[in-house]
Structures are given as C-alpha cells and as structure tokens.
Structure 1
Amino acid sequence: MDIGVLLPTGKAQWGTDGDPRELIAFAREAEELGYSSLFANDSLLSPRIEPLTMLAALAPVTERVTLGTGALLPFLRRPVQAAQSLASVDLLSGGRLAVAVGAGFPGRFGRPLYELSQLPWERRFARLDETVALWRALWSGADSFRGEFHDFAALPPATAPFRPGGPPVWLGGGAPAALARTGRLYDGWLPYPPDPADYRTGLADVRTAAQEAGRTAADITPALFVSVRIDDRPEQGRPVLEAYAKANYGLPLEELEKIQAVVAGAPEDVAAGLARYRDAGARHVVARLGALDLPSQREQLRRLAAILPEPGRPTGGNAAQCSAA
C-alpha cells in the first residue's frame, strides 16, 4: 500500500504565523521520508494555495513522488484552460501527475462554489464527466469536441502532456452513482468512508461496474483519503483533532468521524487502523495530518513515516506508474 500526504495548503493548517513558502521544504522532506505522493486540495471558500500552482512549484524540486489533486473541482475553471494547466504540470513533472476530481457536495462546500462559478448546481455530475472527456480529447490531440455542455467546432493545438493520453483521472465520492461512474470512466477511486467495511463493498461495486464496461480491476487505482493523528497519549491528541475538525470543516470531531475516515491514537493504533483499510482493498492512502500549524504538521509527517515499514514504496515501477495502475 502506497502512502501519500495531503499538503497543508490551507491557511487553517499554516498556523497564525505560518509561511506557506515552507510548503516546499515540507514536500521535499516528505519525499525524503519515503512517501509516495503529495496531494493538494481545492476550494474558494477558505484561503489556501491554489492546487495547480502548488503542484507546478513542486514539479522541479521533487523527483519521485506522484503529484496529485485531491480533489480538483473542474467547475471552478474554464475546461480548455484547465486541460492546458494539467498537461503542463504533467509535462514539467515528467509524468508524475494524478488528477482526482469531484463535483462538490451539498451544503457549505457545494452550492456556494457553483454560485461563485456562475454554473448551475443541477446536472453537475454529467458536466464533470463531460469535462474530463474534453480534457482527454485535448490531451490526445483532438481538433474538435461536441457534447451537451461543451461544443467546440475547432480546438487549438494543445500542449501535449508527458504521457500519451494524459495523466490518470480519479474520482472522489462514495454514492452508488459515483461508484458506477468510477468503474465505467475513471482511472482511480478516492473516497473517505469512515468504516473499512464500506470501503470494501464500495470497491466491489466499482469493480463490478468496470467489468460491465469491459474494463478490469487493474484499470482503477483503489485509493483512500484519511485524517491521521499520532500521539503517545491519545487523550492529549483528541482536543487537537477537535480543533482541526472545526477549523477545516466547521464540524465537531464527533460529526466529522461519521462521514470521513479518521485514524488516530498511539502509533500501533494508527498502524492497525490503516491496515484495516489495506485489508479492505485500499492500495494508495492519502493522509490528512491532524495538526494546525506547520511545525506540528512536520512532526506528524515524521511520526507517520516512522510507523510504516518502507513508507510509500511502490511494489514495482515508479510512483507515477503505481498511481496509474
């Protein structure tokens, strides 16, 4: 199982006196520690470093790690421009980009973003799928595209990504429709179910949909987002996680644990919690580190690396190939 980390690109994770330029050093340390990927998330509702800007900055200063979006919200960007930006990051990184995408969720993380983008909330999933299809067409050299939401009689020559056909595109989400769409259309699955049993059944549904579409399990990377916090005395870490949940999601920890994967406790407890998801089928974990300033983020980065044998080491090939498998 590959282990990656979600970069603390949000201001809520820098701390009051944090300097986001330190994220470069954070990323380089993660690679040195053996993590297999570095992911950056996306939003307009809280201050943060824009994810494609972050990954472009990391492309020349890292060598091995997969650079991922988790999850990119395509409706926030014009689709042809987004395809160009993604191809550029893939090219500059030597083919190390993985693009996890989402359509947004109901409530405070969904509708307000659509209002900012001046796009309708309705049929957002169909729009997402077609946008990804347009990206793939551009990456493959298409000179036109005709769809329900995007219609281009003539497309300009596009920057070719490093890999023929472009980077792998993963889908986030665990609803039945998302599972079916992942199996039919996407290269990876990046959910965050709080129960490993739900991960197991969801992955089975993804693979069934893939088989029905003439694909195989090997066509889809089974990944997982999970919040992680390691403390020798777990009772001391619980208040920190509580503050983390409220600062990042506006939810008390008890409510967050009902909808998102959270693994916390002593080192052996965290190792066992991650192993349960591995046994359920996860093969690429992206860990959100439960800390609210950059020094604490780096401490958790080191603590997680210390409990994982060969952290983030691919079982074969390089990290980008493993992520696309």
Structure 2
Amino acid sequence: MRYMLKIGLGAPQYGVFADPAAISACAVAAEEIGYDSLWVGDRALVPVAPRDAYPGGGEVPDGYRRFLDPIATLSVLAHVTHRMRLGTSTLNAPFYSPVLLARSLASVDILSGGRLDVGLGLGWSSDEYQAIGVPWAGRGARLEETLDVLDRAWADGPLTHHGPLWSVGESYMDAVPVQRPRPPVLLGGFSPPTFERIGRRADGWVGVGLPLPMLSQVVAGIRGSAEAHGRDPEAMRVVVRVNPEVGDEPAPEEYVPARGTVRQVADYLLAAHDAGADEVLIDLQQTTRSTGELTDMAHRFHEELRRG
C-alpha cells in the first residue's frame, strides 16, 4: 500500500554540505518536514586515476572529494534529531575492524535512543582497499566474518570469537545496542551471493534505483532466499536509493531516476514501492548547492510522495 511508504533523505555529508551548520540545519528541517530517516554514506578517498569504474558510469562527482566520516556524522544526527531513524547506505564493512565497528555502531544506537539501521556493503573501489591495507580478494568472506563478530559482540554476555581472520578472547563489551537482539542489518549489492546472504542472515537490502523489472527480480530473489532459509520473506526490508540530477524540464524516460523533474523521480519511487520497496531514499547532495536549496527540494519531494 502506498500510504505505508517510508521516505528517507541522504544526510548532509559531502561537498558544500560537509559542514556542521549544514548537517544540523538540514537534519532538523527533514524531521520537521516529516521524513522517516536520514542516511550517511562511506568514502575513504577519491583516487585521481581510479582503477575501477564509478557505479553508473562516468567519474566520481567533484562534490564527493570532500566528505565527513559516517560515524561522526551519525553522532551529530543523533544529537539534533529525536524521531527519525538513522542509517548507513552503506558502510564498506571490510574497511573496518569488526570489534571497533561493533563498538562504534552500538554507540550510535545508544546515543540515538535505538534509532540505527546498519547498512553494510563491500564498496566498489579497489584503490580504497589498497590504501586502507585490506585485501580486495576475499571481501565477501570478510563481510561474513564481520557479521559473525557483530552478532557476538552485541549479544548478552562476554564476547568470544575465533575465525579465519580475527580471534577475540573472552572479553566484555557491555555497551550493547538499545535495539535487541541487534539493530536491523541491511546489506547492499547485486550478486546472487549477496541475495543468498541477505536471505540467510540479514534483515533486508539497501540498493539503488534499478529499472523496475530488474528491481522486481531483485526483491523476488531476496525474498525467495529468505524463504529457502526458513525465514519470513515478507519481513525482508527493501530500501531503494536514488541520487537524482533534478531539473525543471522533463528528462527522457530512459534517464529516470538518474535525471528528471521532481515529479518524474517521485513517480519512479512510487512505482518502486509498488515493485516491493518498503522505503525510498533520496540523496540531493549532487543536485543542490546550498542548505536552503536542499531543504526546499526535500520538501517538494516529500509532498509529491505523500500525495502519491
């Protein structure tokens, strides 16, 4: 049902919005407008001559060269908001020590009063992996073990883990998340192993604006995987993210939702809801240039989506 659609907004974090005043002003405005959630992204660096293509083609937007740390940004958002959920779309899980990641994410959930959604992915840039000192090969297995450590770190009682990559002797980590048994864990990606992993052990998928027939196939694949693993397929959350270039003139339909008017992009998002998305996420940092412009456009999108 369309009226059940959740509407999220990309949190100020990149380019001209990598500014404490912008973060606070946009977050407060988004909550007043009625948005359901705010989401941060994850970037370590932007290589001058990347070895891997930027998702969707083209080059990394110039505004993405300046960015703030996602966990630090979430901490600010937790302080200035009171109702909205706070999510990561997505953290590149292999970048991090799972013990430290468990500590940081639990801290955000505590500071926000239990409002965190944990979106995890593998990233797309082997340059970032090289700079961080993490192998590009085997990143899927690294994510699997990271999820193991998170589950054990957030459980009641001492943490113990012995795996191929990490070994943790019996230890206390009692500052566990408010949400029990853990905050919702959503995984990003498009491969069959990702869909199998989601159905087996995650709470849903955080993806991007695909062509609608493909989106329907992804939703069916994830829910089919959940059912195959004896889990409730309807409990799988689906969050669809768009980073549109918004203009006043309609774009050809083949370019929507990457380009288009507010109405065109909103119509796509409503159709994505019909195709199985529970929540849509609109990031306006690539198409607006000021706090006022971002806030105004966020208001227009919210009105269009609520109008249906």
Q: After superposition, what is the alpha-carbon deviation per residue over 1:8-48, rounded to whole angstroms, capped at 9, x for unaligned?
A: 3112x53xxx7443211101100110110000000111321
- Among 196, 199, 205, the alignment partner of 2:215 is 199
Alignment check: 8 A CA contact 1:97 1:168 kept: yes
How many Å apart are 1:305 and its aligned residue? 1.7
Shift, 1:195, TM fit: 0.3
Kindly state the Cα deviation for residue 161 of structure 1 after the two structures are TM-superposed: 0.9
Residues 145 and 75 (structure 1 numbering): CA distance in 2 closer, same or farther, change over 3 Å? same
**Residue 176 of structure 1 corresponds to which residue in structure 2?**
192
Unaligned 5+ runs, structure 2: 46-64
Counterparts of 1:215-254 in structure 2, within 5 Å, are 215-234=231-250
Q: 1:122 to 1:230 in 2, by over 3 A?
A: closer
- Secondary structure of 1:296's aligned partner: helix
Distance 2:164 2:195 in 1: 22
- The answer to whether the 8 Å contact 2:209/2:257 transfers is no
Q: What does the per-residue CA deviation read over 1:41-79, in whole Å, with 9 as the maximum and x for residues that have no partner?
A: 001113211111111111122111110011011222222
Q: 1:232 to 1:188 in 2, by over 3 A?
A: same
Structure 1 unaligned blocks of 5 or more: 239-253, 312-325
User: In structure 2, what is the Cα distance between the partners aligned to 1:19 and 1:90?
Assistant: 23
Q: Distance in 2 between matches of 1:140 and 1:181?
A: 20
Contact in 2 for aligned 1:84/1:158 (Cα 8 Å) = no
Distance 1:57 1:268 in 2: 31
CA contact (8 A) 1:291 1:300 kept: no
- Residue of structure 2 in register with 1:279 after alignment: 274
Partner of 1:2: 6
Partner of 1:117: 132
Amino acid at match of 1:24: S
For residues 90-101 of structure 1, what are the structure 2 equivalents within 5 Å?
90-101=109-120
Distance in 1 (alpha carbons) for counterparts of 2:231 and 2:206? 18
Q: Note the 1:24-43 alignment, pairs <5 A.
A: 24-43=24-43
Aligned to 1:305: 302
* Count of residues paired in the alignment: 281
Aligned to 2:122: 103
CA change 1:310–1:77 in 2 (3 A) is farther
Q: Does residue 138 in structure 1 map to residue 173 in structure 2?
A: no
Deviations 1:164-189 (CA, angstroms, capped at 9, x unpaired): 22211100111122111111111110
Q: Give the percent of matched residue pairs that are identical in Structure 1 and Structure 2.
A: 32
CA contact (8 A) 1:263 1:273 kept: no
Deviation at 1:193, TM superposition (A): 4.4
Matched, 1:128 2:104: no
Separation in structure 2 between the aligned mates of residue 58 and residue 38 of structure 1, nearest angstrom:
8
Instruction: Give the superposition deviation at 1:310.
Output: 7.0
Distance 2:307 2:117 in 1: 22
| Residue of structure 2 in register with 1:85 after alignment | 104
Deviation for aligned residue 1:157: 2.7
| 1:129-181: CA deviation from partner (whole Å, max 9, x where unpaired) | 21022011101034311222121122233311111222111001111221111
Q: Any conservation in 1 of the 2:250–2:264 contact (CA below 8 Å)?
A: no
In structure 2, the CA distance between the partners of 1:72 and 1:37, relative to structure 1 (3 Å rule), is: same
Distance, in Å, in 2 between the alignment partners of 1:298 and 1:128 is: 35
Higher relative contact order (CA 8 A, sep 6+): 1
Counterpart position of 1:72: 91
Q: Are residues 152 and 272 of structure 1, via their aligned partners in 2, closer, same or farther at CA, if it must alter by over 3 Å?
A: same
Contact conserved, 1:103 with 1:124, CA < 8 A, in 2?
Answer: yes
TM-score, normalising length: structure 1: 0.80
Q: Which runs of 4+ in 1 moved over 6 A?
A: none
The answer for the alignment partner of 1:209 in structure 2 is 225
Asked whether the equivalents of residues 102 and 172 of structure 1 are also in contact (C-alpha less than 8 Å), the reply is yes
- Per-residue deviation, residues 210-256 of structure 1 (Å, max 9, x unmatched): 11111012332111111235444336xx9xxxxxxxxxxxxxxx9xx
Matches of 1:155 and 1:219 in 2, distance apart? 33
CA, structure 1 residues 35+229, in 2 after alignment: closer, same or farther (shift >3 Å)?
A: farther
SS in structure 2 opposite 1:144? strand
